[in-house]
Structures are given as structure tokens and as C-alpha cells.
Amino acid sequence: MMRPNVVVLIAAALAPPAHGIRIVQSNDDGWAELYVRTLNSALRAAGHAVVLAAPAEDMSATGSRDEPPAPRAGPCEYASCPPRAGPVGSNATRPDLTWVNSFPATSIRYGIDSVGPRLWRGAAPELAVTGPNVGTNLWLSVLISGTVGAACFAAHDAGIPAIAFSGASAQRAAWDVSPVPNRSIVYAQLATALTNKIVASGKPYLPEDVFLNVNFPKVEGACTNATDFKWILSRINPGTFSRPDVEWCDSTRLPTELSVAGRDGCYISVSIGDASDKTTVNDGRQKVVLDKLRDMLVCLP
């Protein structure tokens, strides 16, 4: 039998570091898509307690649709669950990995209301992280993206600060592919870095009703190592007729995320989104986010 002090030592070694928080994760490409799983592993390795609740299959471009999950007939994507497995289910040995036979917003709702509290003795998630989406979600596509829809459900309906990640390298892959392609590792490293930055900035992690819409460029050419990438504060939609943006980079107009994506130089756009309508937040909340991220941001040349 193990002596009690040894048990205590092991428990202490396994306890998350002080900065670890409770995170609910979702996406729209499905619970078994590689990108969301690599990020799940990276967030756990960083000390966070993570619950993944995502659609049973690809539900891209379903926006904020939210309907009660129905029983499945066929297997989940990539044969990741057997046929006729019910309306929701989880990995047999990892109850924190859950599929929901419905939309992204429904899935994250289930993670927030059911899976998280069940595994965390009733406690709610403190942050929502969606994606990385397979493919970008820029400007108009933000409106139909399920990855953004899930983030907005968390931020607007559940009051949980949310970050939506999307990656321009758009090759799909199953959760168990080996070796894990570099693009998935780099996106997970970058998403974890921004998540940790927001966590380190303290509560409230984001202003009320705000989500961050983050788009990574392709992992190729000169942009293959996480250290190659640079973070740019941006807008979702053009601001032609909007009031001035927060003063930053000698300007009172932030670049659009589309213009950031069009530049060479490994630039990541970080837009301050309004979770109530998926447009750009255009008020004092911009400065609050800028102050949280300031020392990791650069200006476009």
C-alpha cells in the first residue's frame, strides 16, 4: 500500500500550476478533427483543466444554430464513435472529450451546462476557446462560422469570455493521425500562447460581451515555427463610417483582419468582436483588450 505522504506528493505533482483555469472548448469541424485535439493537449500541458464539447461531425458554416441533439444513425466523423451511439457521448476513457449530435453553439452549451460542472464538482468554465477552425474566418465569413457561433454563445448567452481561433492551412485530418503535422502543433502553440496571455492578464479576462476573433496565416514558407509569427490588433469589418478606434500604432483606425491576412510576414489578426452581433466592438472595450495584449502586439510595417 502507498504511504499517505507519497499519495500527497503525487497529487501535488499532478495538480495544475497556479495559473491553470477551467476552459470549455468547441469547434465546428467536429470533436475528432485534429486541430481541436492538438490544442486540447497543449492547453492541458499548460496546466489548464479542459472540457471539449463539439459536434459529432463537421458542422461548418452553421453560425449560431442551436437545436436539441438528436440520436445518431451513423458513426461520428472519422469513425470516432460507433453507429447509433445516441444524441451525445464521450470518449470511454476520457469523459472530458465529448461529442454532441447538433450544432457548435449547442455543443458548447452542453459543455458549459453539463460536462464542465459534472467534472468540476459544479464549477463553471472560466474561459471558452473555439477552434482552431480548419480555414480562416475573416470579415463576412465570421457571420456564418460555427466556430465563431460557439464563441459568441459562450460570451453573449453564457457570460463566459471567449476566443475563436482559425487557421488558413485548411487540410483536414483525424484526431489520431501520426505523426501530428507541424501546422496543427504550431496553431496549438500559438493559441495556447494567446490564451495564457489573456489568463495572465487577470479577471475579467475580457470585457462583457466581447470575443476575440483570431486568424492564423498558413504554416508554410517563412512561417513554420511559432516564433516566426507576429500578433496584430485588428477589426472584423471596415470602419469607414465608424467612430475612431482605440489609438494604437500612430492611428485611430485599426487594420481590418482581411488586410492583415493579405500581408506577407506571418501576421496573426486579433479582432475585438461584439458577441451580440459579430461585428467589431467600437468603444472603450477596445482599450481594455489592447492593454491586456499590448506587450505581445506589433504594428504592421
Ligand X SMILES: *[C@@H]1O[C@H](CO)[C@@H](O)[C@H](O)[C@H]1NC(C)=O
Binding-residue pattern over the window 150 to 169 for ligand X, x denoting contact by CB under 6 A:
--------------------
What is the C-alpha R_g of the chain? 19
The one segment of 59-67, 86-94, 233-241, 267-275 that binds ligand X by CB under 6 A: 86-94
Residues in a beta bridge with 25: 52, 129
Closer residue to ligand X, CB minimum distance, 209 or 228: 228
Residue 91 binds to ligand X (criterion: CB under 6 A): yes
Size of the site for ligand X (CB under 6 A): 11
Residue 227 binds to ligand X (criterion: CB under 6 A): yes
The one segment of 20-28, 90-98, 124-132, 147-155 that binds ligand X by CB under 6 A: 90-98
The one segment of 87-95, 164-172, 232-240, 291-299 that binds ligand X by CB under 6 A: 87-95
Q: Shortest approach of ligand X to residue 222 CB, angstroms?
A: 12
Among 182, 196, 276, 279, binds ligand X (CB under 6 A): 182
Residue 97 binds to ligand X (criterion: CB under 6 A): yes
The one segment of 1-9, 88-96, 236-244, 274-282 that binds ligand X by CB under 6 A: 88-96
Residue 171 binds to ligand X (criterion: CB under 6 A): no
Residue 176 binds to ligand X (criterion: CB under 6 A): yes
Residue 212 binds to ligand X (criterion: CB under 6 A): no
Among 5, 93, 178, 240, binds ligand X (CB under 6 A): 93
Q: Shortest approach of ligand X to residue 181 CB, angstroms?
A: 7
Q: Shortest approach of ligand X to residue 275 CB, angstroms?
A: 29
Among 110, 139, 175, 231, binds ligand X (CB under 6 A): 175
Separation of alpha carbons 211 and 206, rounded Å: 7
The grid cell for 35 is 486541430
DSSP letter for each residue of the chain: ---HHHHHHHHHHHSPPTT--EEEEE-SS-TTBHHHHHHHHHHHHTT-EEEEEEESS--TT-TT---PPPPBSSPPGGG-S-TT-BSEEE-SS-TTEEEESS-HHHHHHHIIIIIHHHHTTTPPPSEEEEEEEEB---THHHHH-HHHHHHHIIIIIS---EEEEEES-----BTT-SSPPHHHHHHHHHHHHHHHHHHHT-SSSS-TTEEEEEEE--SBTTB-SGGG-EEEEEBSS--TTSPPPPPBTTBSSPPBHHHHHTSSS-EEEEEEEETTTSSB--STHHHHHHHHHGGGB----
The one segment of 12-20, 92-100, 146-154, 275-283 that binds ligand X by CB under 6 A: 92-100
Half-sphere exposure of 283 (CA within 13 A, CB side): 6
Helix 182-200 vs helix 34-45: crossing angle, to nearest 10: 50
Q: Shortest approach of ligand X to residue 84 CB, angstroms?
A: 16
Among 38, 40, 80, 215, binds ligand X (CB under 6 A): 80
Which residues of this protein are in contact with ligand X, per CB under 6 A? 32, 80, 91, 93-94, 97, 175-176, 182, 225, 227
